[in-house]
Amino acid sequence: MKHIPNIITLINLFLGCVAIVMTLQGQPGVAAIIIGLCALLDFLDGAAARFLRAGSAIGQQLDSLADLVSFGVAPSAILFHYLQGAFQIIQPEQPGILLPSLAFLVAVFSGLRLARFNIDEEQQDDFKGLPTPASALLIASIPFVLTYADPNALVFRLLESLTTKVWFNLGLTFVISWLLVSPVRMFSLKVKSITWKDNKYVYLFLFGCLLLLIVFGLSAVPLFLIFYLLLSLVYHVQQYH
C-alpha cells in the first residue's frame, strides 16, 4: 500500500513522456489530453500519500521529476510545435530549430520553480509564482481548443490566428516563464474545509469557470486559466498588501 502514491507518480512521468512524443509527431491535441490526465494524477498521488500516510523523501523527489517532465518539458514541446510552425510561415525555406527552441525556457523555469518550491516552507497554504500544473494546462489548453472545440467559436478563431504568429508564441513563452518564478502569490485549490471564509477564492474560481463553460463551451478552457491568474492577482493584493 505504501508504494501506491509513487506508482501513481511514475504513471504521471510515463504519460508525460508520451505527451512529448505525441507533440513531436504532430498531435498536440492528444498531448493536451494526456497533460490533463497528468494533472489529475499529480493531484491523486498527493491525496493517496496523505490518505495512506505514505509520504516519503523519495516520493517528493519523484513528484518533482514527474512534474518537470509532464508540466515542464511536455508543454514546452507544444510551444515548440507552434513556434516552429510560425517561423515556417515567415521562413518557409529554412525555419530552423534554434529560435523555436526558446520554447523550452518554460521547462527551464519550471525546473527552477520546482526546486524553489521544495525548499520553501512558505508555500503550504498558497503558491509563490504560477504552479507548474497550471502553466502546463494553460499551454495545453491551446491545442485542446484547436482540436476539440467548435471551429466557429470566437476563442477557437482567435487562437487559430494567434498560434501562427511568432510574437504570440514567444510572448507566451516569456510571460509563462516569468510567472513561474514571480513573487506573485496565487491561491491553492486545495479545500481544507467547506466554509466560505477559508475557500472564498476557490468558490469564486469554480463559479466563474462554470459560467465560462456555459457561455463558451469547450473553448472556455484557456479562459479558466486566465481567470485563475486574474483572481490570483486580486488574492495577492488583498492578502499581502
Contact residues for 127 (Cβ-Cβ < 8 A; gap 6+): 117, 185, 186, 187, 188
The pTM for the full model equals 0.92
Contact residues for 57 (Cβ-Cβ < 8 A; gap 6+): none
pLDDT higher than 80, residue 125: no
Full set of structural domains in the chain with CATH: 4-186 (1.20.120.1760)
Q: Where is average pLDDT lowest: 59-73, 122-136, 167-181, 222-236?
A: 122-136
Mean pLDDT of 66-75: 97
- pLDDT for the residue 167: 95
- pLDDT for the residue 97: 79
Instruction: State how far Cα 76 lies from the chain centre.
Output: 10
Confidence band (pLDDT; 50, 70, 90) for 197? confident
- pLDDT for the residue 95: 62
Question: Which residues on neighbouring strands pair with residue 185, listed in sequence order?
Answer: 128
Residue that has been written with the C-alpha cell 520553480 in this structure: 113
Question: Which residues on neighbouring strands pair with residue 126, listed in sequence order?
Answer: 187
127 and 120 Cβ atoms separated by less than 8 Å: no
Mean pLDDT of 158-181: 96
pLDDT higher than 80, residue 192: no
pLDDT higher than 70, residue 111: yes
- pLDDT for the residue 123: 67
- pLDDT for the residue 158: 95
Question: Which residues on neighbouring strands pair with residue 128, listed in sequence order?
Answer: 185
- pLDDT for the residue 77: 98
CA distance 88 to 121: 45
Q: With H, G, I as helix, E, B as strand and everything else as coil, classify residue 163.
A: coil
Mean pLDDT of 167-194: 90
Phi, psi angles (nearest 5°) of residue 69: -75, -50
Longest distance between any two alpha carbons in the chain, whole Å: 59
